[in-house]
Amino acid sequence: MEDFLTLKKQLCFTIYQTSSEFNKLYASVLQPFGLTYPQYLVLLALWEQDGITLKELGEKLDLGTGTLTPMITRMESNGWLRRRRSDTDERKVHIHLEQKSFDEQQSITKAISEEILSCDIGLEEYVGLMSQLNELQSKLKLRKQGQNQ
């Protein structure tokens, strides 16, 4: 049991370190585009479904409006996207990609792909890691839901 309590044996610490390495990787690739990693996640979500509401975007990215709104403001001022109030419900704000986002999509995607490939993670390994991490995330969320009941 004592060996389990060492820093190197902690799953949370390994995930933290891995996350930090991914953040560094993405930061270096996205810097030439003037993007941060969270801004890239916004673009990914909008490339999947353009025109979603700010609330839907926040739910998709698991970000609150206090974090998301300033990021959207910066991205809007940098020409990546625009906000538009709903014609039917002015409480809803839809987020739309600007042409710059579409023009840069292939270059950004290519740069990210090349950097991930340089890590020597094969497709089968990638799929396996995604599966394991999604399962772990589900277990953590279920634990939290069980405590709230």
Q: Does domain 29-104 have CATH number 1.10.10.10?
A: yes
- Which amino acid appears at position 81 of this protein? L
Domain locations in the chain? Answer: 29-104
pLDDT digits 0-9 by tens, 89-130: 888 999 999 999 999 999 999 999 999 999 999 889 999 999
- pLDDT number for residue 105: 98
Element at 77 (helix H, strand E):
helix 65-77
Distance (Å, whole) CA 97 – CA 84: 11
- pLDDT number for residue 23: 93
Distance (Å, whole) CA 147 – CA 62: 20
Three-state DSSP at 53 gives strand
Tokens (6 digits) for 62: 């698991």
Distance (Å, whole) CA 43 – CA 138: 25
Q: How sure is the predictor about 149, in pLDDT bands with cuts at 50, 70 and 90?
A: low
In a 13 Å sphere around the CA of 14, the CA atoms on its Cβ side amount to 6
Q: Across 33-148, where does the E strand assignment appear?
A: 81-85, 93-97
- pLDDT number for residue 39: 97
